[in-house]
């Protein structure tokens, strides 16, 4: 059975989730700075200590301060996956003027991020709160930004990043890929995404930079991330460009810049070498279910859990206080494992919530166990044999040798199997012998399929057929498979039907059984070994 994490909802509180591979991480985990004009702001000299940054933030202010707000931004993707965040966020409280911020980057971070032949990822959360339009940027450059609204550096230099708003600015400012190549002004490649069209919506923007060897153009791709479950393809970028920055110039990118001339906010700036780094350390499993949690109506401190489910599938409720591992590695919660769904929605009631300040829950979905899964090693699998005349099907260790080859073991060299006579040829002049499976309950399933292994040596005019029966009244439904002997000189084990599952959907919704029947003359000298089967598996699906 394959366990799949189907949802990752947050319960009670958020938690910090960082990967060791992340190189620069700025969650703005600093005390809030109050309101504009109080001379406390991002860059007042008190904010330092972010991973990969060397020293405190500085800010050049023209009228309006960039403040540290109490509380971080929140982001979830189209599946409901939640980006793990920590700390606070930053926001300018009014439109007028300009604020540009800079922080030095450590030499270790520069080396880790800018080598030729590597990839650098940058991401951040962003919100535009309205007015005439956004005009913002996050860049890694060799120079701080100038006091302007066009994202210019204060001296000619080098850099890469995301510019929201072309130098012309205006209400149609877009999210653009940008680079600086021995210039003060960025070269931008415009997208069609204008955040001003979605005021107060939190976006997750990411840039991917491929640093190629000198003489081969470097590449920048900018993405609007809406799915945390997989790295976006370069062809899905909303903006991209190419340029050739020398390795020596890449090694000069020692300044992290934030530019802001509107009422816009930023959070969770992350720079690393993989997409997983910049979304929090690992890719979420793409979910197809939603888990809802609500306080119990009957028991204080307990909760009710509800999720979409598939009848006959199995579910585990798992939980952790740590998002650094995948949900399929989390511990079961309250012993709730192997829950068999009977409806399209499953609810557990009065589940204790625990006493942790932060706890996360997920539902793991497992495919239904096989309806029949027997290898005949320890027993006969509940199969029964019947014979009208001739040789009976037998269970045990085969030891048949004849003109058609030999069958001296089960499938794959295993010990036991079922066969029409385990120790020689089937009887001439006539054999009519059948092997019946146990009853198989296909109620609740719309489809079912069978796989099994077979070894076959039969006379050309004889028949080896598999029939499906309704157990209610022993009514034959259909012949679902006819075996043919492709070689008169061998009788090797092989997957029946060329390895393709045999469709049993004609019996869906019923209780059925299978019957393998060999009928024929067995040759004039009884020199055909017969039909042998092993490793029978029946699976149902919705």
> Are 64 and 172 within one domain?
yes
Residue 402 and residue 530 in contact, taking contact as beta carbons nearer than 8 Å? no
Instruction: Pick 40 or 323 by higher pLDDT.
Output: 40
> Are 353 and 382 within one domain?
no
Instruction: Pick 66 or 288 by higher pLDDT.
Output: 66
> Are 51 and 165 within one domain?
yes
Q: Say how far apart CA 309 and CA 315 lie, in whole Å.
A: 8
Q: Say how far apart CA 516 and CA 512 lie, in whole Å.
A: 14
Q: Say how far apart CA 213 and CA 215 lie, in whole Å.
A: 6
Residue 8 within any structural domain of the chain? no
Pick the last residue of a domain from 366, 399, 419.
366
Residue 44 within any structural domain of the chain? yes
> Are 40 and 137 within one domain?
yes
What is the per-residue pLDDT across 228-277, written as a single tens digit (0 to 9) for each? 888 999 999 999 999 999 999 999 999 999 998 878 899 999 999 999 88
> Are 265 and 338 within one domain?
no
| Domain CATH number, residue 112 | 2.60.120.260
> Are 360 and 456 within one domain?
no
Residue 12 within any structural domain of the chain? no
Pick the last residue of a domain from 317, 338, 366.
366
Q: What's the average model confidence in pLDDT over 349-373? A: 86
> Are 353 and 395 within one domain?
no
What is the per-residue pLDDT across 188-214, written as a single tens digit (0 to 9) for each? 999 999 888 888 899 999 999 999 999
Q: Maximum CA pair distance of the chain?
A: 107
Three-state DSSP class for residue 277? helix
Given a cut of 60, whether residue 348 has pLDDT beyond it is yes
| Domain CATH number, residue 462 | 2.60.120.200
pLDDT of 134 reads: 66
Q: pLDDT band for position 39 (50/70/90)?
A: confident
Residue 120 within any structural domain of the chain? yes
Pick the range with the lowest mean pLDDT from 29-33, 283-287, 333-337, 482-486.
283-287
> Are 356 and 502 within one domain?
no
Given a cut of 60, whether residue 306 has pLDDT beyond it is yes
Given a cut of 70, whether residue 17 has pLDDT beyond it is no
Residue 153: DSSP 8-state? B
Range of the domain at 338: 291-366
> Are 456 and 495 within one domain?
yes
> Are 81 and 220 within one domain?
yes
Q: What is the count of structural domains for the chain?
A: 3
> Are 218 and 171 within one domain?
yes
Q: pLDDT band for position 166 (50/70/90)?
A: low
pLDDT of 14 reads: 27
Strands (E) located in 225-333: 239-243, 255-260, 264-272, 291-295, 302-308, 314-320, 331-332
Question: Of the candidates 474, 473, 491, 487, which has an alpha carbon nearest to the alpha carbon of residue 421?
Answer: 491
pLDDT of 230 reads: 84
Q: pLDDT band for position 115 (50/70/90)?
A: very high
Given a cut of 70, whether residue 427 has pLDDT beyond it is yes
* Strands 359-366 and 3-5, bridge-based pairing: antiparallel
Average pLDDT of the chain to the nearest whole number: 87
pLDDT of 133 reads: 60
Size (the chain), residues = 542
Structure tokens belonging to residue 8: 């990752």
> Are 188 and 203 within one domain?
yes
Residue 168 within any structural domain of the chain? yes
Three-state DSSP class for residue 72? coil
Q: What's the average model confidence in pLDDT over 334-349? A: 91
pLDDT of 83 reads: 86
Residue 2 within any structural domain of the chain? no
């Amino acid at each position: 059975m394959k366990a799949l994490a189907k949802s990752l909802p947050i319960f009670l509180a958020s938690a910090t989730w960082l990967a060791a591979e992340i190189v620069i991480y700025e969650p703005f985990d600093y005390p809030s700075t109050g309101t504009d004009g109080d001379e406390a702001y991002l860059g007042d000299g008190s904010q330092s200590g972010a991973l990969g940054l060397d020293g405190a933030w500085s800010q050049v202010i023209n009228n309006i301060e960039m403040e540290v707000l109490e509380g971080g931004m929140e982001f979830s993707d189209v599946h409901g996956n939640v980006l793990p965040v920590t700390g606070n966020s930053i926001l300018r409280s009014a439109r007028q003027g300009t604020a540009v911020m800079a922080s030095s980057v450590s030499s270790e971070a520069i080396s880790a991020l800018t080598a030729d032949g590597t990839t650098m990822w940058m991401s951040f959360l962003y919100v535009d709160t309205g007015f005439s339009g956004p005009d913002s940027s996050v860049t890694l450059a060799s120079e701080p930004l100038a006091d302007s609204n066009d994202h210019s550096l204060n001296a000619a230099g080098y850099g890469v990043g995301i510019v929201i708003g072309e130098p012309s600015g205006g209400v149609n400012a877009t999210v653009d890929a940008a680079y600086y190549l021995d210039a003060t002004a960025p070269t931008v490649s415009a997208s069609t995404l204008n955040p001003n069209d979605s005021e107060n919506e939190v976006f997750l923007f990411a840039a991917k930079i491929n640093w190629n060897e000198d003489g081969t153009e470097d590449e920048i791709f900018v993405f609007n991330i809406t799915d945390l479950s997989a790295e976006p393809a370069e062809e899905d970028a909303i903006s991209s460009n190419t340029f050739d920055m020398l390795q020596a110039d890449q090694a000069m990118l020692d300044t992290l810049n934030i530019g802001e001339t509107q009422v816009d906010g930023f959070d969770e700036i992350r720079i690393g070498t993989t997409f997983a780094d910049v979304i929090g350390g690992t890719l979420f499993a793409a979910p197809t279910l939603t888990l809802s949690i609500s306080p119990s109506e009957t028991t204080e401190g307990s909760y009710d859990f509800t999720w979409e489910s598939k009848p006959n599938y199995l579910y585990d409720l798992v939980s952790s206080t740590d998002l650094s591992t995948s949900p399929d590695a989390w511990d079961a919660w309250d012993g709730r494992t192997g829950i068999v769904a009977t409806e399209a929605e499953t609810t557990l009631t009065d589940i204790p919530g625990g006493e942790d300040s932060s706890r996360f829950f997920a539902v793991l979905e497992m495919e239904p166990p096989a309806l029949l899964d027997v290898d005949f090693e320890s027993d006969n699998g509940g199969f029964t044999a019947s014979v009208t005349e001739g040789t009976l099907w037998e269970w045990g260790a085969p030891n048949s040798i004849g003109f058609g080859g030999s069958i001296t073991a089960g499938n794959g060299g295993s010990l036991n199997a079922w066969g029409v006579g385990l120790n020689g040829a089937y009887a001439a002049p006539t054999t009519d012998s059948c092997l019946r499976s146990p009853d198989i309950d296909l109620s609740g399933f719309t489809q079912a399929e069978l796989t099994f292994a077979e070894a076959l040596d039969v006379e050309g005019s004889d028949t080896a057929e598999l029939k499906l029966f309704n157990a209610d009244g022993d009514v034959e439904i259909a012949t679902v498979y006819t075996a043919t002997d492709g070689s008169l000189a061998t009788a090797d084990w092989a997957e029946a039907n060329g390895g393709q599952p045999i469709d049993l959907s004609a019996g869906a919704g019923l209780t059925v059984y299978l019957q393998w029947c060999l009928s024929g003359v067995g040759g004039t000298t009884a020199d055909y070994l017969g039909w042998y089967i092993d490793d029978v598996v029946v699976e149902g699906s919705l």
